[in-house]
Amino acid sequence: MSLRPRARETAEPELHMGSGSAVSLTSASKVYGTGAEAVHAVDNVSLDVEFGEFLCLVGASGCGKSTLLNMIAGLDKPTNGTVEVRGGRPTLIFQEPALFPWLTVERNVDLALKLRKIDRADRKQVVGSLLEMVHLTGFGSKQPHELSGGMRQRVAIARALAQQAEILLMDEPFGALDAMTRDLLHDEVERLWQDTGFSIVFVTHNVREAVRLADRVILLSSRPGRIAAEFPLDIPRPRRIESPEVGALATEITARLREEVKHHGVQT
């Protein structure tokens, strides 16, 4: 089954596959504050995210991963350099799903469609399709507190798709989940990505998770965040997080990460 909503044309996502890259950062830097109090979060990052690419960013805490996502999302502007988004509308998915607790699952997803001014007659069908995509059919009348953590993240993903997102920016989305639930959601996100062709930029501290999911892993140095290394992946899909191939590359990336932390010092 296709994972796109099959309602009227006005409610259906339309990917903007064009020339160039979906996202381009050119010498992008971000400094918070001025003078002696200035914090250099990101320094001179040039990076292209290709259309349909699954890119993972890894690095120590405070290395600027979330800052990069915020700049791509348009929530923050670079102090220097440029950030250009050509791949359509981006949306952020955080570690906490941030659902409205007083709304049901259906109404949480429906709200995103309502804000897009989709006709009410279309919205019910689209919501049903989106919940089916994330394997939550039958849970539409539940409220967030009645769901597990993994199910709440599925609702957050459905809501992101309802926003007609074409670039998913995922900031430690599974960091608070147990290992089994996280593994199941890896499968779900990979399935959605393969069926939709979205571009995904995924931030994680878990190097094995990055290797499990990514087409390419970008390692950022400790503050200020700079691109320290790039690891294209040629491990065939589907991958398992416990596979020897994933483990071997994760070990290599982790060793390089330790070098970066040692070189730049531990950030607090």
pLDDT tens for 10-21 read: 334 444 454 579
Quick one: pLDDT at residue 260?
81
Cα separation, 203 vs 195, whole angstroms: 21
pLDDT greater than 80 at residue 187 = yes
* Structure tokens belonging to residue 136: 């939550």
* Structure tokens belonging to residue 148: 């597990």
Give a yes or no: residue 110 inside a domain: yes
**Cβ atoms of residues 225 and 68 within 8 Å:** yes
What's the average model confidence in pLDDT over 102-125? 89
Task: Identify the sign of the CA torsion 70, 74, 75, 80.
Answer: positive
pLDDT greater than 60 at residue 5 = no
pLDDT greater than 60 at residue 166 = yes
Cα separation, 145 vs 150, whole angstroms: 12
pLDDT greater than 60 at residue 78 = yes
Quick one: pLDDT at residue 25?
95
**Short-list 195, 263, 201, 212, CA closest to 15:** 195
Number of domains in the chain: 1
Give a yes or no: residue 207 inside a domain: no
Quick one: pLDDT at residue 35?
81
* Structure tokens belonging to residue 86: 């050509």
Give a yes or no: residue 241 inside a domain: no
Q: How confident is the model at residue 53 (pLDDT cuts 50, 70, 90)?
A: very high
The average confidence (pLDDT) of the chain is 86
State the amino acid at position 4 in one-letter form.
R
**Domain span at 155:** 99-165
Quick one: pLDDT at residue 3?
37
**Cβ atoms of residues 56 and 213 within 8 Å:** yes
Give a yes or no: residue 145 inside a domain: yes
Give a yes or no: residue 75 inside a domain: no
**What are φ and ψ of residue 225, in 5° steps?**
-70, 120
Quick one: pLDDT at residue 264?
64
Give a yes or no: residue 18 inside a domain: no
What's the average model confidence in pLDDT over 50-70? 91
pLDDT tens readout for residues 202-249 = 999 899 999 999 999 999 988 788 999 999 999 999 999 999 999 999
Residues 6+ apart with CB under 8 A from 243: 235
Which segment, 14-18, 96-100, 206-210, 264-268, is predicted with the most confidence on average? 206-210
Q: How confident is the model at residue 266 (pLDDT cuts 50, 70, 90)?
A: low
Better pLDDT: 1 or 218: 218
| Percent of the residues in the chain that have a pLDDT greater than 70, as a whole number | 91
